[in-house]
Amino acid sequence: MKYYPLFATTPKAMEDILANELKILGAENLKSTIAGVAFEGTLETAYRICLWSRTANRILLRLTEFEMHSQEDLYDQVKKINWFNHLKPEGSFMVSFNAKNSKVINNTHFGALKVKDAVVDQMRAKFQKRPNIDTHHPDIHINVHLNGTQAQLSLDLSGESLHKRGYRDVSIKAPIKQNLAAAILLRSDWSKIAAEGGSFLDPMCGSGTLVLEAAMIAADFAPGLLRDYYGFLNWKNHEPMLWQTLIDEANQRKTKGLETMPKLIGFDHSRRTLATALQHVENAGLQAFIHLEKRDINESKPAESWAKGLLMCNPPYGERLGEKEEVIELYQQLGNVLKNDFIGWKAAMIISDPELGFRLGIRSHKPITFYNGSLECKLLRLDIEAASFFIPKAKNQEQRLDQVLKTSQTEHSNNNAPMFANRLRKNLKNLKKWAKQHDVECYRLYDADLPEYAVAIDIYQSDQLWVNVQEYEAPKTIDAHKANQRLAAVLAEIPKVLKINSDQVFLKIRRKQKESTQIEKLNNKAQFHAVNEGHCQLWVNFGDYLDTGLFLDHRPLRLMIAQQAKNKRFLNLFSYTGTAGVHAAIGGAKSTLTVEMSNTYLQWAKNNFELNNLSGEHYQFVRSDCSQWLDDAQQNLKKQFDLIFLNPPTFSNSKRMEQFFDIQQEHVKLIQNAAELLSDEGVLYFSTNFRRFQLDTDALKHLKVEDISATTIPHDFSRNPRIHYCWRISR
């Protein structure tokens, strides 16, 4: 019986789960490495792993290893393999090439071409025929991994990543891959809970990935059973009878497993998302075993007939201030639901910000690290019982201001902060000169330059000088009283350094974010002030909202839009207070269309236009959920705009939206839909403040995408170049 050297890849931090799986499936001589496990096994073992592994990405059969010191070494070593043993001369193949720490080849496309040339040249020389390149379903998939000078040449038996089970619509960008979903289910003891008849509920099921993976685990349903393509099916050494035997066995196990299925439920508050989930459930043939229903978080109470089991979800997250406040509220709601309605259940959720888990008010077991793409996440596992409950300390704007005010009054002598004052003076000297040279009247003066004084300070020149101070929430390791002292010192020094009255300084609490597109009402004084930017006047408000109405980090982008807008049809999506539209109109735009869901934002935008004497039918305003508006606009507005600005929030849980909005999940569809509205020579600017954002360039290959982030970061934000990302997109 022949044994092959094999390697299974998996997302980082899942190696131990994969190794345990491989051992159960018959793998021998296992050795875990970063993002994978090397092992040995027969062809049957390799087939079985392709069919049954819930956590692997790819299964590679190693053909050779070699030292590579030149491009010719790659060509020569690939050509040494007798490819006729694997591929018919008229067959098809594709090549994947990846390199790390290599001084010889770091262009993966070039490396793949060298491998392709070696295979084609060998076949043509022997048979006067050449195989074809097929990037979808080739007969064999060749994989080369180069680390330094060490190269490994393999056949990819999986063909395409094993996380693609075959039930999910490929056009749907889901927040979690199937093998990650399976891994967190396994880590949460779902196999044991399901075997004991426990129920499964995902109260925010989205497109249904978690509930489907839970169903497949409970049913002993092989995750690869729905796939119609593997990389070995047309390989010359493929053994069809052996493969069919394994398929028959998997079908028998599935049939038996479905006879004892526990209750599986998915809730979501979006009918559109539920329709997608239902389609995925039908694709998997599990519609008789999974119940999907439209419900909000607060309505997630289990039926009395459901056995206690596991509640699991992948909650959304927020980066900007207002978004974070909404997410905190969502976690608090979820915590209350768990405490009130799910006593005796287990719960698990994967989150990107551990502090959000604190808002649940339920102590968890030690968090487990996973990676959702490049994003580090934590898996929280909870026992829903009274002994684990606690009340998180609430923080709001008024409480914080009261604390600082009391500290300032009782400990005024401690408000001397010479280091902070000196830094503020230094920044003022440098930036004031720069601002005057560039006609900038509103700018960031200080941004946590000194860690002890973690605030951002923005200057606004209007009828008089105004200062907006944004406090970054102190780490838990910092004593609260000390944080109050430092903030009181900051508020005492600012008027002295800037030579203004203390009532010209406004304080806001920020929780690890920069700017926000969510308005949280603090007061109702309607104290608006007009400021200048470029050739525009814009309304700002310091006392009534958490944000002023003008995101200073986007200043260069607004000025760029003004320069490019002449005779253009301009579309402003997620417009906030419409400042980009004002710049476009002042720059000579033929027309502007401002789309915003919030009535407060939209009225603010109209007021900004009126402030600049911009009125008439050329300037249109639409109150709408921008995502839905873009869907509808495809029918009658294709190629109707020459310039588009798309600046969505990171997250929104607004009641006016049909579903949660998460920029990482939604950006591909947003960009694709917006690009459909571009004229042939049109330009779309897409920007986000989500610091861990990853643009899905593969899904946008049909568009020309240029990262212009560096050119859109203003001088006054140069200390924080990750304040936002920006891309120029065209057809």
**pLDDT tens-digit readout, 142-165:** 999 999 999 999 999 999 999 999
Whether pLDDT at 640 is above 80: yes
The pLDDT score that the predictor gives to residue 475 is: 59
Query: Which amino acid is it at 448?
Result: A
Query: Which amino acid is it at 445?
Result: L
* Mean pLDDT, residues 190-218 taken together: 97
Tokens representing 392? 């998180």
Question: What residue has token string 């508050």?
Answer: 269
Whether pLDDT at 574 is above 90: yes
Q: Which fold has domain 178-219+256-388?
A: Rossmann fold (3.40.50)
Would you list the domain boundaries of the chain?
Answer: 4-156, 178-219+256-388, 397-510, 531-730
Least confident range from 405-409, 620-624, 649-653: namely 405-409
The pLDDT score that the predictor gives to residue 1 is: 84
DSSP at 157: S
Place 512 in a pLDDT band, splitting at 50, 70 and 90.
very low
- Given CATH 1.10.10.10, say whether it is the number of domain 4-156: no
Tokens representing 722? 């990750």
**C-alpha dihedral sign at 279, 284, 286, 290:** negative
Place 481 in a pLDDT band, splitting at 50, 70 and 90.
confident
Tokens representing 245? 């035997």
Q: φ and ψ at 252, to 5 degrees?
A: -65, -45
Tokens representing 43? 């062809």
The per-residue pLDDT for range 37-86, each reduced to its tens digit, is 999 999 999 999 999 999 999 999 999 999 999 999 999 999 999 999 99
Mean pLDDT of the chain: 90
- 319 vs 709, which has greater pLDDT? 709
The pLDDT score that the predictor gives to residue 273 is: 87
* Mean pLDDT, residues 428-437 taken together: 94
Least confident range from 371-375, 390-394, 544-548, 612-616: namely 390-394
Chosen CATH of 397-510 out of 3.40.228.10, 3.40.50.20, 3.30.750.80, 3.40.50.1220:
3.30.750.80
* Mean pLDDT, residues 319-330 taken together: 63
Could you tell me the CA-to-CA distances from 164 to 271, 457, 664 in Å, in that order?
25, 48, 19
The pLDDT score that the predictor gives to residue 354 is: 79
Strands 725-730 and 678-688: antiparallel
Could you tell me the CA-to-CA distances from 133 to 117, 146, 232 in Å, in that order?
11, 22, 16
**Beta strand extents in 420-518 (DSSP E only):** 442-447, 455-461, 465-472, 505-510
Q: 624: which residues sit within 8 A by CB, 6+ positions away?
A: 595, 596, 597
The pLDDT score that the predictor gives to residue 522 is: 43
Whether pLDDT at 546 is above 80: no
Whether pLDDT at 413 is above 80: no
Query: Which amino acid is it at 616?
Result: G
The pLDDT score that the predictor gives to residue 664 is: 83
Torsion (CA) 60, 65, 67, 69 in degrees, nearest 10: -40
Model-level pTM?
0.65
Least confident range from 372-381, 419-428, 556-565: namely 372-381
Q: φ and ψ at 363, to 5 degrees?
A: -70, 140
Domain 531-730: which CATH class? alpha beta
Whether pLDDT at 415 is above 50: no
Whether pLDDT at 674 is above 70: yes
Per CATH, 178-219+256-388 and 531-730 having the same topology is answered: yes
* Mean pLDDT, residues 201-208 taken together: 94
